[in-house]
Amino acid sequence: MLPEDRFFETMDKKKIWERYCGFLDLSLEEYMKIQHRLLMEQIKMVADTPLGKKIMKGTKPRSVEEFRQLIPLTTYDEYEPYLGQQREDVLAEKPLYWGHSAGRGGRFKWIPYTRRGFEVSVKCGLAAFILSAASSKGEVNLKPGTRFLVLVPSRPYASGMLFYHWGQQFSFSYIPPLEQAETMEFQDRIATGFGLALRTGVDLIFAIASVLVKVGETMTEQAQSMRFSLDLLRPPVLLRLLRALLLSKIARRPILPKDLWRPKAIITGGTDTSIYKEKIAYYWGQTPYEGYGATEGFPLAMQSWNKKGLIFPPDLAFWEFIPEEELKKSVEDSDYEPAAVLFDEVEQGRTYEVVLTHFYGMPLLRYRMGDLVTFVDMRDEEADINLPHMVFKSRRGETINLGGLTDLDEKTIWRAIENSGVKYSDWLARKEYDGGQTYLRIYLELKENRDVNEIEQLFDQQLKAIDIDYRDVGDMIGLQPVRVTLLTPRTFQRYFEDKQKEGADLAHLKPPHMNASEAVIQKVLQLSQER
Indicate the pTM of the whole model: 0.87
Fold agreement between 1-397 and 399-529: no
Q: How confident is the model at residue 105 (pLDDT cuts 50, 70, 90)?
A: low
Q: Which of 204, 220, 211 is nearest to 257 (CA)?
A: 220
Please, are residues 178 and 151 in contact by the beta-carbon 8 Å criterion? no
**How far apart are alpha carbons 319 and 311 in whole angstroms?**
11
For residue 468, the Cα-to-chain-centroid distance in whole angstroms is 26
Burial string for 275-291 (b: 16+ CB within 10 Å, else e) reads: bbbebbeebbeeebbbb
The answer, yes or no, to whether residue 403 has pLDDT greater than 80, is no
Q: What is the pLDDT of residue 117?
A: 94
d(CA 477, CA 405): 10
According to the model, what pLDDT value does residue 56 have? 95
Spatial CB neighbours of 83, under 8 Å, sequence gap ≥ 6: 76, 109, 110, 111, 112, 363
pLDDT attached to residue 334:
84
Please tell me what DSSP assigns to residue 106. T
Please state which of the four CATH numbers 3.60.20.10, 3.40.50.300, 3.30.300.30, 3.30.930.10 is assigned to the domain occupying 399-529: 3.30.300.30
pLDDT value at residue 267: 95
Give the separation between CA 114 and CA 484, rounded to whole angstroms.
48
Fold for 1-397, please state it.
Answer: Rossmann fold (3.40.50)
pLDDT for the residue numbered 406:
84
- Which CA distances in Å does 393 have to 269, 272, 293, 364, 479? 12, 10, 13, 23, 28
Task: With a cut of 60, say whether residue 224 has pLDDT above it.
Answer: no
Identify the pLDDT of residue 225.
Answer: 54
Largest Cα span, the chain: 71
Task: Note the pLDDT tens digit of each residue in 247-286.
Answer: 889 999 888 999 999 999 999 987 788 888 999 999 999 9
Listed in sequence order, the residues at least 6 apart from 150 whose beta carbon sits closer than 8 Å to its beta carbon are 163, 174, 175, 178, 181, 193, 206, 207
- Helical spans, DSSP H, in 289-377: 324-332
Separation CA 84–CA 82 (nearest Å):
6
User: pLDDT band at 223, cuts 50/70/90?
Assistant: low
Extents of the domains making up the chain: 1-397, 399-529
Residues 6+ apart with CB under 8 A from 304: 24, 131, 311, 380, 383, 385
Res. 458: pLDDT tops 90? yes
